[in-house]
């Protein structure tokens, strides 16, 4: 059993590292001070109810507090950062508790009741002060040159791409929680629960509310698995066993896991064989992850591997190379092989190799790829190949010039199962990668 990480010690090193990274970003972009706003709660139209609050991820990079709207972090190189912490005297809602924990010693924390108090304590921002986040009352008229300046954002995004040891410890914990919840969800599926019931089991498994999850969980039985971001949560218990595609993650200190498993209705049969084959293929792809690997090349390799698998399974009637070249493989896999992961489930920094360089486009015919860079140690990526039977894409293919490349009888047999996705979270390291998801599943069995 490995010892629990000491998050306070890890955070101290993280704080030092992101201080240096932010100083370099400010210097490169000609700013002297950075303000980071955590974000505003948003009212629904004509209502007094707010949407769930999602904090500015740049704020959480510094301040591991995800439920703190209207806070402002002020960072000036060489000075202790000031955190204006919004905690109004309210009796309608519980104000956020003043932050506690080892990380707080790095900040000058000033409780404030409203914006006027924050602004009164600060100089009027000039051209040397940049604000990252939503403008807030009193600052609506900030010039675009200082409000989320694109060049500075690109620099800061680049600083978030290679995770610090603290961030990796948070990712590991998010994976552990996500896997615990996946195991609870699988048990609920085995007990014949509805999609809604499985979702409830997932939430109970990780002890998080729906609004705390890093993204809306996808709990899709049978043909629902063909909708990539299926969200309906059917309340009916099925009358007979069905397959389940569950794509759901848990959060820890703002960092998220993004995990998908597909469970066939029974361990035998054509669909179960396809799930097993994709699982092996996914692990072979994970084994290729290391610094220096081009992610677009790996994405294209995955298409070739999946087309090979579909040819062997009798779904494709053309060579794997032809299937990739003509776009037929994309009928079965229309999304990217994976993406950067961190404070955002589709984390920033996936396209620009450096802050100065233009974005690298995805390969022709693969517009959904969200990571077009070469892998580097410290990146966290998802590996999520899939095979889906999606009506809208199959119908198009059936009308198109490549229709004879598909065995439509095989498709007719398989489409009731929706689709398959196997998704793990990987830390790229000098020797290859660490598979956070498989390690968490293995640890849960010990």
CA angle at 199 for the pair 434 and 443, rounded to the nearest 5°? 30
Residues of this chain, 372-401, that bind Mn ion according to CB under 5 A: 382
3-state secondary structure of 144: coil
Decide whether 36 or 246 has the Cβ nearer to ligand GLY. 246
Select the residue interacting with ligand GLY from 53, 115, 196, 215 (CB under 6 A).
215
Any contact of residue 437 with Mn ion (CB under 5 A)? no
Residue nearest to ligand GLY (CB): 247
Locate tokens 């509310």: which residue?
209
Q: Which residue(s) pair with 434 in the sheet? A: 427
Nearer to ligand GLY, 53 or 215 (CB): 215
Q: Does 173 bind Mn ion (CB under 5 A)?
A: no
Q: Which is nearer to Mn ion, 104 or 260 (CB)?
A: 260
Q: Does 258 bind ligand GLY (CB under 6 A)?
A: yes
308 is in the binding site of which of Mn ion, ligand GLY, none (Cβ under 5 to 8 A by kind)?
none
Q: CB–CB of 422/260 below 8 Å?
A: yes
- Angle, CA 294 vertex, CA 168 and CA 247 arms, to 5°: 50
Q: How many residues bind Mn ion, per CB under 5 A?
A: 5
CB 243 within 8 Å of CB 262: yes
DSSP 8-state symbol, 316: B
Which residues does residue 108 pair with via DSSP β-bridges, in sequence order? Answer: 82
Tell me which residue has tokens 């010690």. Answer: 9
The three-point CA angle 259-336-420 to 5° equals 50
Distance, in Å, from the CA atom of 325 to the CA atom of 3, rounded to the nearest integer, reads 49
Of the pair 173, 258, the CB lying nearest ligand GLY is at 258
The yes or no reply on residue 258 touching Mn ion (CB under 5 A) is yes
State the nearest-atom distance from the C-beta of 345 to Mn ion, in Å: 7
Of 173, 193, 195, 247, which lies in the binding site for ligand GLY, with binding defined by CB under 6 A?
A: 247
Nearer to ligand GLY, 119 or 340 (CB): 340
The helix/strand count (H/E) of the chain reads as: 13, 15
215 makes contact, choosing from Mn ion, ligand GLY, none, with CB < 5 to 8 Å by partner type, with ligand GLY
Q: Which residue from 167, 195, 247, 424 is in contact with Mn ion, where contact means CB under 5 A?
A: 247
Span near Mn ion by CB under 5 A; candidates 17-25, 57-65, 247-255, 316-324 = 247-255
Distance CA 376, CA 357 (A): 17
User: Which contiguous run of DSSP H or E holds residue 151?
Assistant: helix 150-159
**β-bridge partners, 164:** none
CB of 349 vs Mn ion, minimal distance in Å: 15
Q: Does 424 bind Mn ion (CB under 5 A)?
A: no
Binding residues vs Mn ion (CB under 5 A)? 247, 258, 260, 382, 423
Binding residues vs ligand GLY (CB under 6 A)? 215, 247, 258, 345, 384, 423
């Amino acid at each position: 059993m490995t010892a629990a990480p000491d998050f306070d010690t890890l955070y101290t090193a993280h704080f030092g590292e992101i201080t240096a990274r932010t100083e370099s970003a400010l210097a490169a972009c000609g700013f002297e001070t950075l303000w980071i706003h955590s974000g505003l709660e948003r009212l629904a139209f004509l209502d007094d109810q707010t949407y769930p609050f999602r904090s500015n991820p740049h704020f959480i990079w510094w301040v591991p507090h995800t439920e703190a709207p209207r806070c402002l972090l002020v960072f000036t190189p060489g000075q202790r950062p000031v955190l204006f912490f919004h905690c109004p005297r309210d009796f309608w809602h519980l104000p956020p508790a003043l932050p506690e924990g080892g990380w707080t010693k790095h900040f000058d924390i000033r409780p404030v009741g409203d914006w006027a108090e924050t602004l009164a304590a600060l100089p009027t921002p000039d051209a040397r002060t940049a604000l990252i986040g939503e403008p807030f009352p009193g600052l609506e008229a900030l010039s675009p040159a200082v409000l989320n300046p694109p060049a500075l954002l690109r620099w800061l995004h680049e600083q978030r791409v290679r995770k610090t040891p603290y961030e990796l410890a948070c990712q590991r914990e998010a994976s552990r929680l996500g896997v615990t919840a996946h195991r609870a969800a699988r048990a609920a599926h085995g007990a014949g629960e509805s999609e809604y019931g499985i979702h409830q089991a997932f939430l109970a498994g990780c002890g998080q509310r729906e609004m705390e999850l890093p993204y809306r969980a996808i709990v899709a039985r049978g043909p629902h698995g063909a909708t990539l971001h299926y969200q309906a949560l059917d309340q009916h218990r099925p009358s007979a066993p069905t397959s389940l595609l569950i794509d759901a993650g848990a959060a820890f200190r703002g960092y998220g896991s993004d995990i998908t498993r597909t469970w066939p209705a029974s361990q035998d049969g054509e669909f179960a064989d396809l799930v097993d084959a994709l699982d092996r293929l996914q692990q072979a792809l994970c084994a290729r992850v290391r610094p220096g690997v081009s992610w677009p090349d790996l994405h294209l390799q995955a298409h070739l591997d999946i087309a090979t698998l579909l040819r062997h399974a009798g779904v494709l009637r053309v060579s794997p190379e032809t299937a990739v070249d003509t776009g037929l493989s994309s009928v079965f896999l229309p999304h990217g092989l994976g993406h950067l992961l961190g404070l955002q489930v589709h984390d920033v920094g996936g396209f620009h190799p450096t802050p100065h360089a233009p974005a690298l486009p995805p390969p022709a015919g693969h517009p959904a790829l969200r990571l077009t860079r070469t892998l580097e140690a410290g990146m966290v990526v998802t590996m999520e190949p899939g095979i889906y039977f999606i009506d809208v894409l199959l119908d198009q293919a059936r009308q198109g010039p490549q229709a004879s490349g598909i065995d439509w009888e095989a498709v007719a047999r398989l489409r009731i199962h929706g689709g398959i996705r196997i998704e793990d979270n990987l830390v790229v390291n000098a020797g290859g990668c660490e598979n956070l998801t498989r390690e968490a599943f293995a640890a849960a069995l010990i």
